[in-house]
């Protein structure tokens, strides 16, 4: 544990004066550390003080005369995001709320009836250490993000210029150069394309890791997307001597997804399948099942051993029996893209018998609130993608309510008042099937 400064500035937020006096006495008994304690009985006074002064740590009771429960913590945390907060609790109910506060950024919680000078000091020092480490991690993440963006930018711009120049030279020289020189130009062109793809992979990976990627979701025809992927990848398959085909179920329903991102996933899966197949074929299939659109890319390649399977979707993973040359991020990026669409992705394979990569996109998906998201009490608009214009929503065990339709989505206004976990359900009819989905959202 790192050394802490000789004086620690403490903001104690508690309306029980007996508890306040006891806490101050405990802190005064600590040797080697001087605690400069300031006390506020109400949340309003505490928030005003936090605007004016910077504290090292906040000791906060959740139930005050002008604020109750998690709302107390959230208001204090919003005002002092970079300050360590320890929750002081007096009941089992408050202990449950304190655990929820830790999930949302508090560093520790203490039960008042179990408090001792040693325990209080240990918690304060531990919380300050955790806060310091958390800030260091944040700074490292920011530095990494800036570094990746800078390097990628500095690489991509010149590469794009070189790429264009090579293509223009090939077009201008036409038939005046020898086959040997043409092949050299082609090698340079392919190498530049590869470097651009690698750079884009790194940028996509960083955007997904930092949660800054955005999706342009709209209703799409999956059969059209598969046909487009087939056209793009057919030259690579023919060059390898591998067959490439599409087998899509008739009358597939439209699905909400970001066309460019799902196209990127399919290019990666089909590209990998072609690379790993020396002879035989690669087949893309699409069908509806269990309320989702099931896409599969199957090859007759070398397959994978059971030991390789768990590493498939990890960052920087490389397949042993396939030609290397990428970043090893393609499958990890694909996994993130599919999961952010509310879907799932997996693979089946047997050594020497080829592989099948599957992913399922939900026909109906609650885009907001996010799964297991914690929100404050207030007014929210639930957004649902997929299905028809006749979509319905139910909260917990309440009845089904009609949604309004706009911009290709279904919308439902929700004003939660109870601080607990709520189940949000949605349903619609797709063709002759009734499709339902649900997720949990906690209100604090």
Q: For 406-431, how does the pLDDT look when each residue is reduced to its tens digit (9 = 90+)? A: 877 888 999 888 878 888 999 988 77
Q: Determine the Cα–Cα distance for residues 110 and 112; give it in Å rounded to an integer.
A: 6
At 371 the pLDDT is: 60
| Whether pTM exceeds 0.85 | no
% pLDDT > 70, the chain: 91
Radius of gyration (Cα) for the chain, nearest Å? 29
Local confidence band at 215 (pLDDT 50, 70, 90 cut-offs): confident
Q: For 275-324, how does the pLDDT look when each residue is reduced to its tens digit (9 = 90+)? A: 989 999 999 999 998 778 999 999 999 888 888 888 888 876 666 667 65
> Is the Cβ–Cβ distance between 220 and 257 less than 8 Å?
yes
Residues 6+ apart with CB under 8 A from 441: 369, 370, 372, 373, 374, 375, 421, 422, 424
pLDDT at 2 over 60: no
Q: What distances in angstroms separate CA 385 from CA 210, 226, 366, 437, one per listed residue?
A: 24, 21, 6, 11
Residues 6+ apart with CB under 8 A from 228: 263
Residues 6+ apart with CB under 8 A from 8: 33, 34, 35, 36, 56, 57, 124, 128
> How many other CB atoms are there within 10 angstroms of residue 237's CB atom?
20
**Pairing verdict, β 373-375 and 433-443:** parallel
Determine the average pLDDT of the residues in 92-102. Answer: 75
Residues 6+ apart with CB under 8 A from 128: 4, 8, 56, 57, 84
Which tops the pLDDT comparison, 10 or 365?
10
H-state helical runs in 29-116: 43-52, 70-79, 92-103
């Amino acid at each position: 544990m790192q050394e802490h400064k000789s004086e620690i500035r403490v903001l104690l937020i508690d309306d029980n004066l007996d508890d306040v006096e006891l806490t101050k006495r405990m802190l005064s008994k600590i040797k080697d550390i001087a605690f400069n304690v300031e006390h506020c009985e109400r949340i309003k006074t505490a928030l005003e003080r936090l605007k004016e002064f910077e504290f090292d740590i906040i000791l906060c009771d959740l139930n005050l005369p002008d604020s109750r429960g998690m709302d107390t913590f959230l208001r204090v945390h919003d005002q002092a995001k970079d300050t360590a907060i320890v929750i002081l609790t007096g009941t089992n109910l408050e202990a449950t709320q304190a655990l929820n506060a830790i999930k949302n950024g508090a560093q520790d919680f203490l039960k008042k009836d179990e408090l001792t000078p040693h325990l209080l000091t240990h918690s304060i020092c531990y919380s300050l250490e955790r806060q310091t480490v958390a800030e260091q991690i944040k700074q490292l993440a920011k530095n990494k993000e800036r570094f990746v963006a800078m390097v990628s930018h500095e690489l991509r711009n010149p590469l794009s210029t070189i790429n264009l120049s090579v293509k223009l030279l090939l077009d201008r020289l036409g038939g005046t150069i020898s086959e040997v020189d043409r092949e050299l130009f082609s090698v340079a062109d392919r190498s530049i394309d590869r470097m651009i793809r690698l750079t884009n992979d790194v940028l996509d990976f960083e955007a997904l890791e930092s949660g800054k990627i955005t999706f342009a979701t709209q209703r799409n025809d999956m059969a059209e997307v598969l046909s487009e992927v087939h056209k793009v990848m057919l030259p690579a398959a023919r060059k390898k001597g591998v067959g490439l085909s599409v087998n899509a179920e008739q009358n597939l329903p439209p699905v909400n997804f970001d066309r460019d991102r799902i196209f990127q996933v399919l290019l990666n899966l089909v590209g990998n399948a072609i690379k790993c197949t020396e002879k035989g074929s690669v087949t893309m299939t699409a069908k509806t099942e269990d309320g989702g659109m099931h896409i599969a890319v199957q090859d007759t390649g070398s397959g994978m051993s059971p030991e390789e399977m768990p590493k498939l979707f990890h960052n920087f993973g490389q397949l042993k029996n396939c030609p290397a040359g990428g970043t090893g991020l393609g499958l990890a990026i694909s996994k993130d893209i599919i999961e952010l669409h509310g879907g799932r992705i997996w693979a089946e394979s047997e050594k020497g018998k080829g592989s099948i990569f599957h992913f399922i996109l939900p026909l109906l998906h609650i885009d907001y609130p996010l799964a297991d998201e914690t929100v404050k009490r207030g007014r929210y608009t639930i957004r649902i993608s997929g299905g028809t214009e006749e979509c319905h929503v139910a909260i917990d065990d309440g009845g089904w309510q009609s949604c309004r339709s706009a911009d290709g989505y279904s919308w439902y206004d929700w004003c939660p008042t109870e601080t607990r976990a709520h189940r949000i359900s949605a349903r619609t009819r797709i063709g002759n099937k009734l499709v339902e989905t649900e997720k949990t959202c906690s209100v604090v």
